A and B are shown apart, each in its own frame.
Chain A
Amino acid sequence: MSKDVADQKREAYLRVRNVTKKFGSFTALRDISLDVYEGEFVCFLGPSGCGKTTLLRAIAGLDIQTHGSVFQGGRDISGLPASERDFGIVFQSYALFPNLTVNENVGYGLVNIRSSKAEIAAKVAELLELVGLPEQGDKYPSQLSGGQQQRVALARALAMSPGLLLLDEPLSALDAKVRVHLRHEMKELQRRLGVTTVMVTHDQEEALTMADRIVVMKDGVIEQVGTPEEIYRNPASAFVAEFVGTMNFLNASKANDEQILLGENLLNLDEAERQKLNGSPILACVRPEDIQVRNIDDATENAFMTTVKDLEFLGSFCRATLCYGDEGSNINADFSINLVRDRNIIPGAKIRVAIPANSLHIFPADTAK
């Protein structure tokens, strides 16, 4: 993790320290601390109601936190009103001014700081060009598609060249196709401008494809912070494992200091996972796509026999339900279409599979879901 080491040396651009937000007696955020570095794209990811928007609004100064502090670019902005902070924001509703043209919307803030009309017009044109909407400046928001409106909102948020770009579910009002397309565009734009960005989303795919780092939240606390890869490969808790991607949760028990017992099969654990072993019942986790079928011989670690119970065709791959013991001891595995054909995997077939130790994670059983 050389990136982390490098990160520790430079000062974070946005520092959130021990932020707690209470609404009456309800605590929406509990002691949140977080660093966002210059030029980074960070996603807050979590289920509905976990406090993502609340945290974003605290950073923006829209709903100031009850306790704790926020620093941006070294400046303590903890109690500052939104108008004295330096950010651009895009909401899920876009909040475009309906009676103003696209040009007027994008140039809305520029009128205050620039004097000449020509300068504003040039800047607006440049921004619209940037978000891929040249020539649309004279239309009204209601005359644009959802995706176009979203881009106008983005252009408006970027108009004042803010140090921080805040996005609250900017894509969730769009249909699936447009969403996927805009994901790439937005990410590309952010990279090009190098603007530090915080985006709220409850869509894990969005977070995984766009973010440099993901902050997974649950019930007002941060469960894990890491790159998409880390979050996906090494979930810090059963909650993260479940929320991001698909995961098998298997009941297992401790066999010895290095192994667990899954049904009747002894499985080796990685060094890191062994630390988590204790006496209690265990949840063993493995992603369906990590289950190995090819090149298994007697020497292969963590291999065992299974029976194919069911096979579900999911387009580019198949999801098989494999039984490794008595009724209910099932595990899902994703196999490529080729593999299914080559190995003649059909319901009823017996196949030998392996779970590589580095794909196997364990969590205490009582933390499930």
Chain B
Amino acid sequence: MTDQGFSVTPPVVKARLSRDDWVMRAFIVGIGLWLVVTLLLPLYAMLSKSVQSKDGTFTGLANYIEYFSTPALFNSINNSFFIAITSTIITISLASVFAFVLARSSIPFKGFFKGAALLPLLAPSLLPGISFVYLFGRQGVLKDLLGDASIYGPIGIIMGEVFYTFPHALMILIAAFSIADARLYEAAQVLRTGRIRTFFTVTLPGIKYGLISAIFVVFTLVITDFGIPKVIGGQYNVLATDIYKQVIGQQNFEMGAVVSVVLLIPAVVAFAVDRFVQRKQVAMLTARAVPYEPKPHFWLDSVFFIYCVVISAMIIGIIGMAGYASFVTFWPYNLELSLNNYNFDVMDGGGWASFYNSLKMATYTAIFGTIIIFTGAYMVEKAKGFKAIRGVIQFLCMIPMAVPGMVLGLAYIFFFNHPDNPLGFIYGTMPILVIVTIAHFYTVSHLTSMTALKQMDPEFETVSASLKVPFFRTFLKVTVPVCLPAILDISIYLFVNAMTTVSAVIFLYSTDTSLASIAALNMDDAGDVAPAAAMCMVIVATSATVRLIHALLSRGLQLKTQAWRKR
């Protein structure tokens, strides 16, 4: 400090913390620790495992060198990228047109088409794989369409991935198309810009960020997906199945860790690009735009309509095929319908108990996950000071998005199954499944919470403080009720994902805690494809029912609170 003259810098005022501040900080530290224990330390354990030999001594990059000198292993990198890039191109092309039609045309039945397109969200990712076995497999109904090609391999994987990622891309792209500013279109019309030129000068720049974001989201989903290549990949290896094979098949945990790190890299890069792009998109959203009103155009609308019918029919057909196959007594010899395949208790995989486990697990995840994530987001958003720690937590909350489920699951083995870990007792129990699922789906839930919280007047807490009301009363009496729609969204998101997830839990279940999606996988593995399809259908039905209840609840809530919610 170079003080001029003799002036002395006055002392810096030390702000005294209120009880509220202390409580909030305690919560923040709690959330921080939670994230460290359920995310950071497991990932660290995995990273360190990848540079260790079997007996736990540090070997530097030896495992990596071994990996890259084994063609059977590193070929999977090529395969994974090939699958991911091809699937991304197809999904984005199909979904862009679909989103464009839904957002920018005036065809009828848009609601139905959108609902159909979002159906894959309700299913575990192995469902399309199973369905394709029935459609294009050795005894498939449409086998001839493929000619000499086999569905078991890249073709099947890519088709399955397109089915599975379509709704994810669609949601992002619809959002991008919907924020189009009508004024730009009017301007283009006034200037007599042609349709094609308008598309390239107005539409494309408008959805640029949404498009990039969708590309990276789809890419990440595909490259990290495990269910589809597992069911229909045949001898075609990808990174996600390699992890499984190394760990479950060969008990080579170190190599599993190495493959995990290799898989982590593209996922992290894609994630980073996506975050960067989303930040720009938000800035565009906040500018007040006039919504675009599509005008009818007969020929174009007819083509669009047919397109939507075809896509919706394919999606419903794929789910329908699995549904039909699940009722067929013995494919393809006895096509009589029966419930035999639903008699899970006589089969390997865990029986109906695994379904009840799934229900339990999804319910716990929805309840505890919502509480932890929403409360955490609230504290991080509303606390004063503590900047560095809050920043770190914000960062930690973003990590799960970039971590493939397989990788997280394997990381949990290394961390929680370590003999020195005092938390080891949860290994193989229901709580660890709940915890890993919460961690796996943390990011989206956290972002939803943040969006809702940012819409609250920042002065609510200030007013409470001036009225000497502790913040948690305001949190319970005002914040939670006002954010209830978002809170419901989060819990339903967690529930459905917990029902359908395979990758994060595949390494962590025990015989007592098998889950429906895992049972389906194991039954398929054992050759019981029809029962696997049946189990998938049970999951789809459960997710759909819960979604329906959620829709009714939301509607009821809207009616009940419309007195104070602004229209």
Q: Which residues of A contact B463 (CB under 8 A)?
A: 89, 91, 95, 108, 156
Whether a CB of chain A sits under 8 angstroms from the CB of B465 is: yes
Q: Which residues of B contact A160 (CB under 8 A)?
A: 466-468
Whether a CB of chain B sits under 8 angstroms from the CB of A272 is: no
From B7-15, B211-219, B546-554, the one touching the partner chain is B7-15
State the interface size on chain B (CB cutoff 8 A).
34
Interface string of B471-491 (1 = CB under 8 A from A): 000100110011000000000
B17 in contact with A89 (CB, 8 Å): no
Give A77's nearest chain B residue, CB to CB: B16
B465 in contact with A83 (CB, 8 Å): yes
Whether a CB of chain A sits under 8 angstroms from the CB of B469 is: yes
A87 in contact with B14 (CB, 8 Å): no
B11 in contact with A62 (CB, 8 Å): no
B465 in contact with A81 (CB, 8 Å): yes
Q: How far is the CB of A162 from chain B (nearest CB, A)?
A: 8
Interface string of A138-170 (1 = CB under 8 A from B): 001111000000000000110110100000000
Contact check: which of B16, B18, B561 meets A99 at CB < 8 Å? B561
A93 in contact with B564 (CB, 8 Å): no
Whether a CB of chain B sits under 8 angstroms from the CB of A306 is: no
Of the listed residues B9, B13, B21, the one surrounded by the most CB atoms of chain A closer than 10 A to its CB is B13
A82 in contact with B18 (CB, 8 Å): yes
Contact check: which of A64, A100, A157 meets B466 at CB < 8 Å? A157
B468 in contact with A83 (CB, 8 Å): yes
A residues 87-115 near B (Cβ < 8 Å) are 87-89, 91, 93, 95, 97-100, 108-109, 111-113
Q: How far is the CA of A88 from the CA of B18 in the complex (A)?
A: 17
Q: How far is the CB of A56 from chain B (nearest CB, A)?
A: 11
State the interface size on chain A (CB cutoff 8 A).
42
B residues 529-567 near A (Cβ < 8 Å) are 561, 563-566
Give A21's nearest chain B residue, CB to CB: B13
Whether a CB of chain B sits under 8 angstroms from the CB of A68 is: yes
| Given known A-B contacts A81-B465, A82-B466, A109-B468, A140 and B564 have beta carbons under 8 A apart | yes
| Given known A-B contacts A87-B466, A140-B564, A81 and B10 have beta carbons under 8 A apart | no
A64 in contact with B564 (CB, 8 Å): no
Q: How far is the CA of A97 from the CA of B476 in the complex (A)?
A: 12
Q: Which residues of B contact A93 (CB under 8 A)?
A: 457, 459
B564 in contact with A159 (CB, 8 Å): no
Q: How far is the CA of A1 from the CA of B563 in the complex (A)?
A: 55
A95 in contact with B466 (CB, 8 Å): no
Whether a CB of chain B sits under 8 angstroms from the CB of A80 is: yes
Q: How far is the CB of B148 from chain A (nearest CB, A)?
A: 64
Q: How far is the CA of A62 from the CA of B382 in the complex (A)?
A: 13
Interface string of B1-42 (1 = CB under 8 A from A): 000000001111111111111000000000000000000000
Whether a CB of chain B sits under 8 angstroms from the CB of A123 is: no
B12 in contact with A82 (CB, 8 Å): no
B565 in contact with A83 (CB, 8 Å): no
Whether a CB of chain A sits under 8 angstroms from the CB of B425 is: no
| Given known A-B contacts A80-B16, A81-B18, A142-B566, A156 and B467 have beta carbons under 8 A apart | yes
Q: How far is the CA of A140 from the CA of B468 in the complex (A)?
A: 23
A142 in contact with B460 (CB, 8 Å): no
Whether a CB of chain A sits under 8 angstroms from the CB of B93 is: no
Give B567's nearest chain A residue, CB to CB: A142
Q: How far is the CA of A112 from the CA of B465 in the complex (A)?
A: 12
Q: Which residues of B contact A67 (CB under 8 A)?
A: 9-13
Give B564's nearest chain A residue, CB to CB: A140
Q: How far is the CA of A157 from the CA of B467 in the complex (A)?
A: 8
B13 in contact with A66 (CB, 8 Å): yes
B residues 435-467 near A (Cβ < 8 Å) are 457, 459-460, 462-467
B565 in contact with A98 (CB, 8 Å): yes
Q: How far is the CB of B14 from chain A (nearest CB, A)?
A: 5
Q: How far is the CA of A273 from the CA of B142 in the complex (A)?
A: 101
Give A67's nearest chain B residue, CB to CB: B10
Q: How far is the CB of B122 from chain A (nearest CB, A)?
A: 32
Q: Which residues of B contact A85 (CB under 8 A)?
A: 466
Q: How far is the CA of A314 from the CA of B466 in the complex (A)?
A: 45
B20 in contact with A68 (CB, 8 Å): no
Contact check: which of B467, B564, B565 meets A108 at CB < 8 Å? B467
Q: How far is the CB of B536 from chain A (nearest CB, A)?
A: 41
Q: Which residues of A contact B478 (CB under 8 A)?
A: 97-100
A79 in contact with B13 (CB, 8 Å): yes
A159 in contact with B457 (CB, 8 Å): no
B459 in contact with A143 (CB, 8 Å): no
B residues 398-456 near A (Cβ < 8 Å) are none
Of the listed residues B463, B468, B469, the one surrounded by the most CB atoms of chain A closer than 10 A to its CB is B463
Can you name 10 A-B pairs with beta carbons within 8 Å? A67-B12, A79-B16, A88-B467, A89-B466, A97-B478, A98-B564, A108-B463, A108-B464, A140-B563, A143-B564
B residues near A, CB below 8 A? 9-21, 457, 459-460, 462-469, 474, 477-478, 481-482, 561, 563-566
A residues near B, CB below 8 A? 18, 20, 60, 62, 64-69, 78-85, 87-89, 91, 93, 95, 97-100, 108-109, 111-113, 140-143, 156-157, 159-160, 162
Known: A81-B465, A109-B469. 9 other contacts (CB 8 A): A64-B13, A64-B15, A67-B12, A81-B16, A83-B466, A87-B466, A112-B469, A113-B468, A156-B463
